Structure 1
Amino acid sequence: MAALGEAAARWAPGLWRRAARAAAAFGGCRFASGSQNPPTFGLLLDIDGVLVRGHQVIPAAREAFRRLVDSQGQLRVPVVFVTNAGNILQCSKAQELSALLGFQARVSAPTPWKLGSEGDRGIDGLVLCLSQPLPRNEFPAIEGVLLLGEPVRWETSLQLIMDVLLSDGNPGTGLATAPYPHLPVLASNTDLLWMAEAKMPRFGHGTFLLCLEAIYRKVTGRELCYAGLMGKPSLLTYQYAEGLLARQAARRGWAAPIRSLYAVGDNPMSDIYGANLFHQHLQTRREGAARSCASILVCTGVYGPRAPGPAAPSPGGEGPPFHGHRDLGFSPGLLQAAHVVSDVHEAVRLVLGREGWAL
């Protein structure tokens, strides 16, 4: 699954903000008025495998939004779309979702994000930014590599990244010895698999990273190091999404804080693992309004009753294969969803029922 953005060489500060935003979320629309009490809960919805498969809407998604949207086309509860995908600009994805689901989606404002701590090697100049399509121009000296999503031509992109890393950002010159530590590398998506129109899951950006890591290790004898990993299941993604929900509530003028979050996804390793990890975080932190994040797994995407191989832990059985990134700590219990439902419509019914809202 690609992370949001276009391939380009841009000034680094803007790209870090774009990566944090792309790997995180974008928000809903205006909110409905009426006699219903202001909601104290919010929805974090994945897109691919939950609402759409490729460019085709999942029918249950339309049913779900008939419950979430009032007669004026306004959302009844705060909703944030949380996706690792980035093969399309946010504004274009918002327009697509608006047409498919019958309400006006809006793009979130960017969020600043600072890489590393004081004293770390910073990125002040140009970075190599790879997604779709691949740029074909000559590059000046490059200060880092930002990986937004798997490109169309993997072999060309893998070669270009290796050229940049082995030349310390000057692929036109070359070096006798590969520098180590190498230039900073930031990845905004670690999904091994994702779901499109095809019956079988597709290779995601995590698979592309796996190839890059193997090539770098084979060529240099060293491990590729990341300056940062973002996107689900990272806490940064969910912290940003929580902030978007709070801003939606503030725009509406609701005094009651958003206490309960419900994260709906189709991928146990990114959606469910990340939601459960964030729930653990909420149990220990002292600041912030949210108190819980319940994970809800749907069967319309990567996970399904007939999915190849174990995608979620089976009670008393062997654990599933680890589909996460090598640098992520792995706790098998975090793959267990709080709820498993057939589709997003059933997920919305579950949430509204638990919160005592009219179905």
Structure 2
Amino acid sequence: MARLVSVIMPVWNEADSIEEAVRSVLNQEWPGEALEVCVVDGGSTDGTRAILARVAREDPRVRVLENPRRIIPVALNIGLRAARGEWLARLDGHGSWPPEYLRECTAFLERETGPAVAGGAWDCVGKGWLGAAVARAVGSPWGVGNARYRTVSAEAGAQAVDSVPFWVTRRETFERLGLFHEGFLCHEDYEFNYRLRRAGGRVWLLPWVRAQYRVRSTCGRLARQYFRYGHWKGRFLVMAPWSLQPRHLVPPLWMAANVGWAAAALADRRWLPAAAVWAGLYAGWLLLATAGLSRRPRPAGWDVRSALVLPWILCLVHAAWGTGVWTGLLRGPVHGQPPGWPGGGGESGSEETREARAERGRAG
């Protein structure tokens, strides 16, 4: 008999995609009686709750839990505390799984003797011509460097990586390492996987298992998302500088160079030609990247407007993430400790930090 798996889904205002996400879990190639879905909602106001209520009435395996603090790691911890499964997994409301996702990840982990998590790669998808351009940018090395879960080919073999987003693991992993650090408003997966690797565990990427991830549909939302990603990466790097990867360096160094050349040109016009050369080199790189990405098989919704806006999308991602890293480095480390597993001893408090309260207020 298959062991029970609990899938935890932190959501907030995901009406456009939540039903598809939940049904992708319910339709897994997994015994129906050995599956539960813990959807942790942060007080959605866009119709998400009505959709979840209907799906839960149709299928009692779906449980809807409350996250009044509207913070992702808090939602994950609420779901983990409520979960009954021996296997635990995460999916977000803007993602979806192929039917074999749980089967493939658990089968791989059955061969692992130590603590480990496994997850599939992402195929980024967007809505309309702008969404197609965003998906192409954030699913390529030109946009996100060597983040392998976004860029790896489906033909590749299993790879040990630093983090995967839609993870699957045994319950014992959290019993040993504790829960997610609630001081991180995002980047909580990377922080947890870093703890796992420091404890001798491994994080596995299974490229032949392909989840879908819906990208942000507007430039404003995309910029805010990548600024947040960069900010919390910067704060984490202050805490764990030895976790630095080459892809983490390029955007903040590029932003620093931009500011330096601009300041030099403003202070002394003799530096203006050098600053113009620097800007021209980046513009040429953007054109090269756009040409390369436009030649690849084009996603649904792609048209000439997608190609025209692609350089701006790439620049936006680099600038938002690079600027965010600097603000995070200046803001400093995240304080406090992650909560321990309930009943496991040593559970830390999860007092809400000042920045968490402020972020929750902005999200409202």
Q: Please, what TM-score do these two structures have when normalized by structure 2?
A: 0.26
State the TM-score, normalizing by the size of structure 1. Answer: 0.26
Choose between structure 1 and 2: higher helix proportion: 2
